[in-house]
Amino acid sequence: MLDPFLKWAGGKRWLPCNYSQYFPSKYKRYIEPFLGGGAIFFSLQPSDAILADVNAELINAYQAIREYPEKIERLLNTYQKMHSPDFYYRMRKRNRHNPILRASKFIYLNKTCFNGLYRVNTNGEFNVPIGTKNNVKYEKGYLAQISFILASAKLVVSDFEPIIDNAKEGDFVYIDPPYTVMHNNNNFIKYNNPIFSWNDQIRLSQCIRHASDRGAKIMLSNAAHKSVFKLYDKFGSHLNLKRRSVLAASSSHRLLTDELLIVNY
């Protein structure tokens, strides 16, 4: 198991560590339409994968690491030496067009911003303040390992629907959408841009059912909320899982919370 190179709100590092028994032992392709930090992908390390997200900066970071891990490693080592509040806010303002520089900026901000959040304003500008973490660089050779694991994966900037519609019999689709519930009374929607609405949740549920009908193996993480339980009524096995919240600034406020896992295969 390899740790993800990003910290991501709602990340699933805890899922394969504590609930590995729910993952399929055999499948054809691995498909993940809400990639984020990619914890499940890096845990399973499938040989054939389609990885997608609507966040173009995120996908660029994955693509750049796959192609240029050494160059990004050197840039992050430089940023480590320069890191300070002044450097952070100057870096946050910079527009980068070169994919390697864009990726290095994205990773630097992710590692040093508040709680590893990704949030943009109405102009699409990253606006998360600096956090308390000061470690920018990775261990030597780590990004080369990430690059190797990503070598055979297809990386796509896309809405979830065409990605899930690509799933065929025997494919394993892991789905971890923003945890929007009816009336949007949750803690995750504010971290997502564009907003993932309840109508998107309905569209997703329909898409998942169609993929399942084609023979795809489905695993879905979602909010343990009555509106979500109702949305997936009579679909798969519903499992209430315990996890520790990681979004609270203070560790004393990171209490156990419930998440819903739906497995259908």
* Single-letter amino acid, residue 157: V
Dist. CA 238–CA 257, nearest whole Å: 16
pLDDT score for 183? 62
Determine contact, residues 228/184, Cβ cutoff 8 Å.
no
pTM for the whole structure? 0.91
Determine contact, residues 173/162, Cβ cutoff 8 Å.
no
Q: Using alpha carbons, select from 77, 55, 73, 57 the residue that is nearest to residue 146.
A: 73
Residue with tokens 């949740």: 201
Assigned token pair, 13: 């590092």
Q: Using alpha carbons, select from 117, 109, 108 the residue that is nearest to residue 9.
A: 117
Domains defined for the chain, CATH in brackets: 14-54+158-264 (3.40.50.150), 63-146 (1.10.1020.10)
Q: What is the pLDDT along the chain (265 residues), one digit of tens a residue?
A: 789 999 998 889 999 999 999 999 999 999 999 999 999 999 999 999 999 999 999 999 999 999 999 999 999 999 999 999 999 999 999 998 999 999 999 999 999 999 888 988 888 889 999 999 999 999 999 999 999 999 999 999 999 999 999 999 999 999 999 988 776 544 444 444 557 899 999 999 999 999 999 999 999 999 999 999 999 999 999 999 987 665 545 545 556 788 999 999 9
Dist. CA 88–CA 93, nearest whole Å: 9
Assigned token pair, 7: 């910290």
